[in-house]
Amino acid sequence: MLIRVLFKDPDGVYEAKKDTLGFDKKTGSTSSGIEMTLSKYISYDEYIEIEFDTENKTARVVPCR
């Protein structure tokens, strides 16, 4: 059985991105390549959808539509 769960957490996603991506002192910017990759899975900096497969006992992040 597949179960999809949509999470909304504006502060959690923002804080995690800020802490993870940080600020690159050498280039003076954030890691835009990582930011672009995350935007495939996180909508509006607050929504993420996870799909659980109970038969295979796996979970995956669903790309944005």
* Per-residue pLDDT tens over the stretch 26-54: 555 556 677 778 889 988 888 999 999 99
CA distance 64 to 29: 25
Q: 13: pLDDT confidence band, cut at 50, 70 and 90?
A: confident
At 48, give phi and psi (nearest 5°).
-145, 135
Share of the chain above pLDDT 90, in %: 42
Asked if 13 and 42 touch (Cβ cutoff 8 Å), the reply is yes
pLDDT at 39: 85
Asked if 6 and 61 touch (Cβ cutoff 8 Å), the reply is no
